[in-house]
Amino acid sequence: MQISPSILSADFANLEHELDAIRSADWAHVDVMDNHFVPNLTLGLPVVEALLKVSPVPIDCHLMIENPDRWAPPYAEAGAKSVTFHVEAANDPVTLAREIRAQGARASMALKPGTPWEPYAELLPEVDMVLVMTVEPGFGGQAFMADMMPKVAAVRESVRRHGGEVWIQVDGGVSASTIEQCADAGADVFVAGSAVYGADDAAANIARLRDLVRGHTHP
């Protein structure tokens, strides 16, 4: 059970300090948005390269961008330990996942709420993680979509059948009141933005979220 705070909810003027505040987390989740695939613009490769130099935890890049086939591998090459692309935007997800892995990063595929899981289940051998979005991608602070839990459960069942170790990540509205639903459905990596950065003590918030899912295991 891993906690991956999203710096989308952090103070962008003090990102080195904000990363230091989450040194007890498993990952730092960095949302890259291009104002094309989603209607928001955040940060890109130069900022990620700067974050990689100072982050006390590995960086998990979630690329909400068009043409990830071209733009995703450089994030892995720069040193991000996990790179997530959206299946809706990838032209050749198999080749893309292999290129990300070849750079030494974990390859992950993400699905928007309206994207069904079944057409992409065959990609499981090529990826290390599946991200099930529990909000519409583009903005932080949205309400958690509990109706995505059956999709999380379906991914977990596919992973069981497939074998191997593929993580299942949830992102969007994950908080102390929703994280156990996600764990029960089959998630084991939890992206939390405002639930970590929204109060004074980020480390205490991380510890609280971790305590809530401790003991939840998935075969």
Q: Which residues are the active-site residues? A: 31, 171
What whole-number distance in Å separates Cα of residue 65 and Cα of residue 198?
26
C-alpha separations of 26 from 59, 159, 182, 197 in Å: 9, 22, 17, 15
CB atoms within 10 A of CB 147: 9
Instruction: Give CA angle at 147 (144, 150), nearest 5°.
Output: 125
Report whether 124 contacts 162 (CB < 8 A).
yes
User: How does strand 106-111 pair with strand 167-171?
Assistant: unpaired
| Bridging pattern class, strands 59-64 and 82-86 | parallel
